[in-house]
Chains A and B, each alone.
Chain A
């Protein structure tokens, strides 16, 4: 995307990025369902994704959504990527944690 960093987050970090563009990996129970999709994040929280009808509907179990945080529970989707059906959420969560705490400086842009 452009030159703005899009940090990878989970449910508990949503509050920090309200109004910012972020990316979240969600585990979907029912894919491609209408306007709002509910997904479980890597820290076992729940977020609502307001889908953009122009993008292709998510197909696999794990999907990464890139969008703007509307409020601590909702993201307005800009795009999505299918990440397959095999994904270790716990490990991802560790990475997310690292990327937003100790090593956050690596992922921010001036």
Chain B
């Protein structure tokens, strides 16, 4: 009865003849239209019944299983496929025994909306190494045999193994779909209804299928970007709200596994809508098939070099054992207060633990944006490093426990406060500020290594730190960050006076700052101790833009962006060894500064070099050992996984003795 093969025919453009199709799914959409899946016995496609036909459905003439002749129809192409829009159909026959492919009653009708991200998962995982993935929009079917079979084999709808039918375009996935075709049918368990379409008309599922035990679980520690068939068993430590403001919806979760590894994952678009309600903080899930990428530190402050991006292939299942005791997401990385200045300005939040020596009053600040009040309170912490830091608690952290207890007790006894995930700012030199992620614990309520640290801190305090209220003097770490040898910043603000020993210390530090961190500018007085004359001093540049140009066949010069110039200019780029009385380092120098150092323009040097190598060498030698007031910008770069500090001269001026003298005198006075 069905016009077998007609669907493929109309897809190729032939929409003239009436065709007879069966309605294998039926769903009411907005504005009183009905969305259907139409099958010709061989293939299926999504379709829509025109509004005038809706009454047929309402009357009951057209229902699930109805075989109808479509007299008038058109094929509309949408982003991922087609749908058949029919304006005139007549019922040919009814299939009373028709059973929708999806079995469990709780499963929502599989709406064949072209855009729906249908995820019908098969929960018996043993069958397929990576279980089922939902394809994006999949109106073009090759589910036929399945559908056909399902209609035959599942009369009466035995729940058996099949929880849902996976409608997927690719045969390869089909083969994963065994329950239908394999004799062994299914395997284990479960159960519950699967996820239905997300994307458009909200059919969020309230329950996820539960994973079977036998998956091969990977640890967060093992994840890397070069594979995507991972399975992790994680607890959701935090779930962000669903962001819909700037573009497609998305949300982010922070996950932790049984080894304490942490990682952040992002759900995008359809996945976001689908999973946002479903996933709950504190519950354990088994998540499979996602992409691992290098973490973008601008949007990710989780302590992992990678981050996860969930996609259409991702599967999320509830873990059968919800035991989260081993999954403490927090591995504290406590930083001594005196080292905090190093972290100023970087986006990575820090953990600090210290004894509370002062607690400010509860104050409130008006938000500029909406004039609402924001509570704040300052706490001063000290630790074994002998320095104190001011921590600002915002919002709830300032009002609720445990801050409240601290207030009463810190005067009378040693109260240890630990804050995780707080930001280091350069307010007053160096201070801490709580963020939404911050966790405040008082008196070591947390387990793990931090307990020992807390004990050590208590011990130190009792023996050395505490001297009665009078004798206490802990210099603020903020002071040393701004003053003390570094002089006051110059007009540019971020620059501070220093010495090469400081620059080198930062460069040789165990962990170089993140390449994404802002470059640090340091002003110092130094000389060039080595200026090799046999290096490449310059490049050819477009005099207007400064961009590198290469010579073309016709003698003209063109830069990368296509702009031409007839007469290129030489521009300096060379390196030299910068030295002051504390140390030395290699630095790079460009254009104007390069010219100041050498005393000749790059064009002139090029000329001299061509003619007389000795003269060029002499020029370089003459440039050595001249004292300059230099501003060096230091930034770390990553090459092949290795981080190196690169120093660039951003300013080169003759020494202003008066200014330097002033600085020196100030330093001496503060000594």
Contacts and interface: CB of A to CB of B under 8 A. Distances in A.
Interface of A: 88, 91, 94-95, 98, 103
B665 A88 contact: no
Interface in B615-671: 658, 661-662, 665, 668
6 contacts: A88-B658, A91-B658, A91-B661, A91-B662, A91-B665, A98-B668
B665 A94 contact: yes
A91 B661 CA distance: 7
Nearest to A88: B658
A3 to B, nearest CB: 25
In the A-B complex, the 4 residue pairs with the closest CB atoms: A94-B665, A91-B661, A88-B658, A91-B665
Nearest to A102: B668
A88 B668 contact: no
Given A95-B665, A98-B665, 10 more contacts: A88-B658, A88-B661, A91-B658, A91-B661, A91-B662, A91-B665, A94-B665, A95-B661, A98-B668, A103-B668
A88 B657 CA distance: 10
Contacts of A98: 665, 668
Nearest to A92: B661
Contacts of A88: 658, 661
A94 B662 CA distance: 10
Interface of A is mostly: helix
Contacts, number: 12
Interface string B15-58: 00000000000000000000000000000000000000000000
A14 B127 CA distance: 101
Q: Which of A94, A95, A98, A103 has the most CB of B within 10 A?
A: A94
Nearest to B665: A94
Interface in B565-584: none
A88 B659 CA distance: 10
A105 to B, nearest CB: 14
A25 B345 CA distance: 46
Contacts of B658: 88, 91
Nearest to A86: B658
Nearest to B666: A94
Contacts of A95: 661, 665
Nearest to B671: A102
Contacts of B661: 88, 91, 95
Interface of B is mostly: helix
A103 B669 CA distance: 11
Interface string B398-437: 0000000000000000000000000000000000000000
A53 B474 CA distance: 61
A91 B656 CA distance: 14
A103 B658 CA distance: 21
B660 to A, nearest CB: 10
A88 to B, nearest CB: 5
Nearest to A95: B665
B188 to A, nearest CB: 84
A86 to B, nearest CB: 8
A103 B668 CA distance: 10
A83 to B, nearest CB: 11
A88 B664 CA distance: 14
A51 B30 CA distance: 108
Contacts of B665: 91, 94-95, 98
A94 to B, nearest CB: 5
Nearest to B662: A91
Contacts of A91: 658, 661-662, 665
A50 B658 CA distance: 30
Interface string B453-492: 0000000000000000000000000000000000000000
Nearest to B657: A88
A98 B661 CA distance: 13
Nearest to B664: A95
A84 B668 CA distance: 26
A10 B426 CA distance: 42
B663 to A, nearest CB: 10
Contacts of A103: 668
A92 B665 CA distance: 10
Contacts of A94: 665
A43 B665 CA distance: 16
Interface in B582-621: none
Contacts of B668: 98, 103
A95 B668 CA distance: 10
A95 B665 CA distance: 7
A43 B658 CA distance: 18
A91 B668 CA distance: 12
A61 to B, nearest CB: 15
A52 to B, nearest CB: 29
A77 B661 CA distance: 28
A39 B397 CA distance: 67
Interface string B125-156: 00000000000000000000000000000000
A42 B367 CA distance: 53
Contacts of B662: 91
A94 B665 CA distance: 8
B655 to A, nearest CB: 14
B9 to A, nearest CB: 96
A98 B668 CA distance: 9
A100 to B, nearest CB: 14
A31 B662 CA distance: 28
A45 B213 CA distance: 93
A94 B658 CA distance: 13
B488 to A, nearest CB: 16
A80 B19 CA distance: 116
Interface string B273-284: 000000000000
A88 B656 CA distance: 12
A103 B671 CA distance: 12
A88 B663 CA distance: 13
A96 to B, nearest CB: 11
B552 to A, nearest CB: 53
Interface string B143-174: 00000000000000000000000000000000
A91 B665 CA distance: 8
Nearest to A87: B658
A103 B662 CA distance: 17
B371 to A, nearest CB: 50
B411 to A, nearest CB: 39
A95 B664 CA distance: 10
A95 B663 CA distance: 12
A70 B50 CA distance: 118
A40 B661 CA distance: 21
A27 to B, nearest CB: 16
A88 B665 CA distance: 13
B656 to A, nearest CB: 11
B293 to A, nearest CB: 57
A98 to B, nearest CB: 6
Nearest to A98: B668
A88 B662 CA distance: 10
